[in-house]
Amino acid sequence: MSSLLLSRRRFFLAPVVLLSCLLFSLPLLAADAGFQQWVREFRQTALKNGISPEVFDRAFEGIDAPDQWVLDKASYQPEFKAPVWQYFDNRVQKRAIRMGRAKKEELQPWLDKIEQRYGVNPNVLLAIWSIESSFGAILDNDKVIRSVVRSLATLAYADPKRSRFGRQQLLAALKILESGDIDEKHLVGSWAGAMGHTQFIPTSYQAYAVDIDGDGKRDIWNSVPDALATAASLLSSNGWRRGETWGYEVTIPERKLPAGKLPLRKWEQLGVKRVNGKSFPRPGDIAELKLPAGREGPAFLMLKNFFVLKRYNNSDRYATAVGLLADQIGGGKGLVRDWPRPFTPLDPAEVEEMQKLLKARGYYQGEIDGKAGSGTRKAVQQFEEEIGVEVQGYPSKEVLEALRERQ
Ligand code: CA
């Protein structure tokens, strides 16, 4: 009886065992001989560059194929560049301002210490932290946080456009492991090797990383003080001016204005004024006029610190977003002139009304809270589809009116 049962079991188990053998052998099948050969060759280069065999072998343990996800990310071309208003709405927003203020209170002693040492305004560091990693929230997302060694080896091996970058950064990453600041399990980052709370690539980490909390490790992954001090160290090394702002929102006259950099005094003579009517505190400072959304949008005179912020990420939009968010974390009221938008924005009471109307049509299941999150935007899209207009998903006056008409 029991032996019969056993043999039956064996009989029934056979396909399962076979299947699981097949499944477990999949990673083996996926191993890439070309990649493994490349790793063996790169090992020689690494050893010549002072990486010890033990560190190299530990770093590459279990890495036998490129990471396809990294290659997908690397080849992704967004269909369109986000419109200016959307870029700023996504970064300079209420939640980021609120979180920034809360973090400022929580981290005050560290922020003071960092400011004393590097001269960088804490609000700027908090804004960078928000924009780079949502105050560290992305670091918990396993989908986007990967082994830096594998990601960079993937780029070096399989992405011709980034192979030089990949090799250079991979060597730097191995040197970080060699230094003992972090171990191979925790050396994680984005698909392109940006690491920790403030998203440093390995060579920047090597140039600027700081151990400000004094535990002997420059740990931008787990120590917020270290990560913020590292960002401050980058800005300070690139010429950040203590006690100065990044730029001013200004109004401009109708007539054509010169391009390039001029002293603030000269801009003032040309009719460029601060939006609050105050005069420039240091009229001799050199500034450049920027109109990120053209003449229809806000205008800025950008100072030295704006250009230092671009050393973090070489983009006018990025540096402007950091500056604007920093000012609002510091209590500023935001732009006097809003970004031009293809729709008329709603106030919270109108968003609530919109949510109720969308709910009544069966498109919205979330809270009626006056906050237009992804659920509200999705519901707006469904409604736009229903009425046959361009599907945008913006909670706008235009959509609210269309909803009212169809009550
Ligand atoms: Ca530390």
Distance of CA 147 from the midpoint of ligand 1 (Å): 21
Backbone angles phi, psi at 299, to 5 degrees: -115, 150
Instruction: Give me the mean pLDDT over the 397-401 stretch.
Output: 95
Q: Give the residue from 312, 326, 123 showing the smallest Cα distance to 235.
A: 312
Distance of CA 217 from the midpoint of ligand 1 (Å): 4
Q: Is residue 277 part of a domain?
A: no
Q: What percent of the chain clears pLDDT 70, i.e. is strictly above it?
A: 92
Q: Is residue 4 part of a domain?
A: no
Distance of CA 216 from the midpoint of ligand 1 (Å): 6
**Please, which residues have CB within 8 angstroms of residue 235's CB and are 6 or more apart in sequence?**
118, 120, 124, 305, 308, 309, 311, 312
Please say if the pLDDT value at position 12 is more than 50.
no
Backbone angles phi, psi at 120, to 5 degrees: -95, 130
Instruction: Give me the mean pLDDT over the 88-116 stretch.
Output: 97
Average pLDDT of the chain is: 92
Report the pLDDT value the prediction gives residue 77, as an integer from 0 to 100.
75
Distance of CA 218 from the midpoint of ligand 1 (Å): 5
**What domain count does the chain have?**
1
Q: Is residue 352 part of a domain?
A: yes
CA distance 166 to 152: 5
The model's pLDDT over 153-173, given as tens digits with 9 standing for 90+, comes to 999 999 999 999 999 999 999
Distance of CA 118 from the midpoint of ligand 1 (Å): 17
Distance of CA 225 from the midpoint of ligand 1 (Å): 8
Among 15-29, 31-45, 271-285, the least confident range:
15-29
Q: Is residue 218 part of a domain?
A: no
Report the pLDDT value the prediction gives residue 222, as an integer from 0 to 100.
97
Please say if the pLDDT value at position 128 is more than 60.
yes
Among 17-31, 116-130, 157-171, the least confident range:
17-31
Distance of CA 215 from the midpoint of ligand 1 (Å): 5
Distance of CA 210 from the midpoint of ligand 1 (Å): 7
Report the pLDDT value the prediction gives residue 82, as an integer from 0 to 100.
83
Q: Give the residue from 351, 260, 270 showing the smallest Cα distance to 302.
A: 260
Q: Is residue 67 part of a domain?
A: no
Please say if the pLDDT value at position 366 is more than 70.
yes
Distance of CA 213 from the midpoint of ligand 1 (Å): 5
Distance of CA 291 from the midpoint of ligand 1 (Å): 40
Distance of CA 214 from the midpoint of ligand 1 (Å): 5
Q: CB 275: neighbour CB atoms within 10 A?
A: 15
Instruction: Give me the mean pLDDT over the 94-103 stretch.
Output: 97
Report the pLDDT value the prediction gives residue 81, as an integer from 0 to 100.
78
Please say if the pLDDT value at position 45 is more than 90.
yes
Amino acid at residue number 214: G
Q: Is residue 172 part of a domain?
A: no
Please say if the pLDDT value at position 16 is more than 90.
no
SS3 sequence of 153-194: HHHHHHCHHHHHHHHHHHHHHHHHHHHCCCCCCCCEECCCCC
* CA distances in angstroms from 51 to 40, 43, 59, 172, 220, listed in the order given: 14, 9, 11, 10, 22
The model's pLDDT over 74-88, given as tens digits with 9 standing for 90+, comes to 998 776 678 899 899
Residue with tokens 């040492």: 117
Task: Provide the residue range defining the domain that includes 352.
Answer: 348-405
Distance of CA 220 from the midpoint of ligand 1 (Å): 8
Q: Is residue 377 part of a domain?
A: yes
Kindly state the DSSP code that residue 338 receives in the 8-state scheme. P
The model's pLDDT over 240-262, given as tens digits with 9 standing for 90+, comes to 999 999 999 999 999 999 999 99
Residue with the bigger pLDDT between 244 and 19: it is: 244
CA distance 369 to 359: 12
Report the pLDDT value the prediction gives residue 396, as an integer from 0 to 100.
93
Q: Is residue 399 part of a domain?
A: yes
